[in-house]
Structure formats: structure tokens, C-alpha cells
Amino acid sequence: MLLTVCVAKIHRATVTDANLNYQGSITIDKNILDTLGLFPSQIVQITNLSNGVLWRTYILAGPAGKGDICLNGPPARHFHKGDKVVILAEAWVTPEEAAKVHTKVAFVNDKNQIIKTTNKEKRSKTQHIL
């Protein structure tokens, strides 16, 4: 059995652009990706704090240091420049691996520059329902 866990979170990022005429994905500043250990093509879910829309797509790396958070393709209908979003990166792991997961969290300012990072505590074995 595999479990889906959150391995990283970008908290309250600001959408810098929404490009409807692109094939799809989310462009994220490479500095953020490197800090959190995320990869181009990795699946993430994005929640728009303005309207509650949840979208799943894959990552494209944007230029380092520019602060890009750009929704490309169909999600551009639901995410607009200036919207605040939460981005969650997922991984499929075994229950044994899940017990060792430390979710990395990046808190960013309005220009999507990292101001703080944390690692959430790993789960205890008693918290698993198998």
C-alpha cells in the first residue's frame, strides 16, 4: 500500500501571472524549488485563498530570484495576478516511509521571497491508521 503525503508547502504565495495561452502547469521560482527539494514535473496542488479553487498540475522551474508563481493554461481561468495561494507538493510513500516524512514549509513575502522555512515534526507510529 502507498500513502499520499505532503512533502513540502509554499505558504501564502502571490500569483505573479496567469497565462491562459500556455499548455498547462505552474511556474515556480527555482530558488523556492531548490530550498524545498522540489523538481520540475513534480505534481502539486494549488489552493486559491481568494475563491477556494483547488487545482492539480505539474511544476515548471522559473528563473531563480524573480519570485515567479505563474498559473499556465486552464487554471488561468481560476487564478489571477495578486491572488494568494497555498501550494502543496505530494509524494507516494510506504507507511514506513510516511513515518519519517518531515514536511518542509516555505513562508514567503508578497514578492515570493522566502522569509522563513520550517520542517514539521514527523508523525508518531500511533498516528497512522493502517
In tens, the pLDDT along 64-87 reads 999 999 999 999 999 999 999 999
Give the active site residues. 25, 58
Q: Enumerate the β-bridge partners of residue 50.
A: none
The CATH number that applies at residue 33 is: 2.40.40.20
Whether 84 and 26 have beta carbons less than 8 Å apart is answered as no
**Residue 109 placed within a domain:** yes
Asked if the structure places residue 127 within a domain, the reply is no
3-29 residue pLDDT tens: 999 999 999 999 999 999 988 899 999
The pLDDT confidence band at residue 126, using thresholds 50, 70 and 90, is: very low
User: 126 lies in a domain?
Assistant: no
Q: Which of 85, 28, 86, 89 is nearest to 60 (CA)?
A: 28
Question: CB of 103 within 8 A of CB of 6?
Answer: yes
Asked whether residue 124 is domain-assigned, the answer is no
Domain total for the chain? 1
Q: Is residue 130 part of a domain?
A: no
pLDDT at position 114 = 97
Q: How far apart are CA 73 and CA 75, in angstroms?
A: 6
Q: Which pLDDT band, with edges at 50, 70 and 90, does 129 fall under? A: very low
